[in-house]
Amino acid sequence: MRLAAVAAIIAATGAAFVAASPATAEGPKDPLNSVLWDYVHEQILEGAPVVFDDRVQVFAPMVVEDGRLVPVSVRADGIPGVTQILVFADLNPIPRAVLLEPLKVEPYVALRMKVNEGTAIRAAVRTLDGLWHLGGTVVAAPGGGCAAPRLTAGDADWEDHLGEVRGRAWTTADGGERLRILVRHPMDTGLVDGIPEFFVERITVTDGGGAEIARMQVWSAMSTDPVLTLELPPAAAGQGGFTVQARDSDANEFAGTIPAPATTMPPVSLQEVMR
């Protein structure tokens, strides 16, 4: 090939690349330096205005050995008017894990998700003005969490327990309540040969007084047998138990009733080793 032709191809490719880049160069710089930040900003947050906000605290281990189970907790104390919390991983083939509408619950959610490789894990917290407040952390992981056989792949009886709901509530040290929900479900990603996508996609929680306190959209990037933890502020606590309603991608519906808390969590001191 002649040099001139090579140069022409390079020029053409370069031009196409520049043209395809999203116009976010003037936006705030990603503190996690993720190679896909511009892409996820455009694709997942639809290019909406964002601010990186230290009040959005995302905790996850620095390193995991099994990408099928990465614990993540998000706390956005001190941000008024939170309408949505979206948890996602930049480098996942299925980036989103959960979208929480915290109707009466605190701007807090804890979950366990899959990562397909080491990645930034972020929480995007949307406020009434439409602004996304972002926090995140980076997890190192071996490859394969989304494309590996599910954690319960060896269990012969998973089908008998499909949709079983487990749960419990605790009174927190400040007089609020913590609620943990587990739904037995394979959460198949569709990325393992011969196993179609099959996952819980919606969970709603109602308190003992009949008021909806949280709505969640869930994706198959959640770990098998998805676990979610929510917290109620003291002002919204004490309404009796909770009702959980879930629906999966095959339109199966599941429900459970969690009794009011019987025990109080002692306060705990945590070591600042995660950030």
Partner 1 sequence: MTRAAFALGLALLVPAPTAAAQDLTYALAPMAVALDTYVVEGRTEFFDRRNGGNIVNTAFIVTDAGVVVVDDGPSRRYGEELRAAIARVTDKPVVKVFVTHLHPDHFLGGQAFADVPVAATAATRAGIAAEGMAVTENLYRLSGDWMRGTEPMEPTETIAEGEQVVEIGGHRLRLLPLQGHTDSDLVLLDETTGVLFASDLVFHDRAPTFPHADAAEWLAALDRLAALDVAVVVPGHGPVARDGGPIAQTRDYVQWLDQALRTAADEGREITEVIRMPIPERFAGMALVRDELARSVLTLYPALARAALPVVGN
Q: Select from 69, 91, 103, 147 the one that contacts partner 1 (CB under 8 A).
A: 69
Q: Which residue number, 127 or 137, has a Cβ lying nearer to partner 1?
A: 137
Q: H helices within 182-250, ranges in order?
A: none
CB 228 within 8 A of CB 109: yes
- State yes or no: residue 35 binds partner 1 (CB under 8 A): no
Per-residue string for binding with partner 1, 5-34, x by CB under 8 A?
------------------------------
CB-wise, 162 or 195, nearer to partner 1? 162
For residue 42, the 8-state DSSP code is H
Site string for partner 1, 91-110 (x = CB under 8 A): -------------------x
Structure tokens of 228? 């979610």
The closest alpha carbon to 56, from 92, 38, 32, 22, belongs to 32
> What letter represents residue 189's amino acid?
T
Stretch near partner 1 under the rule CB under 8 A, chosen from 43-51, 164-172, 188-196, 232-240: 164-172
12 exposed, middle or buried (CB, 10 Å; 0-12, 13-18, 19+)?
exposed
Distance CA(149)–CA(169), nearest Å, equals 31
Residues that bind partner 1 in the complex, under the rule CB under 8 A: 59-66, 69, 71-73, 110, 112, 140, 142, 161, 163-168, 170, 178, 180, 182, 184, 225, 227, 229, 244, 254-259, 263, 265-266, 268-275
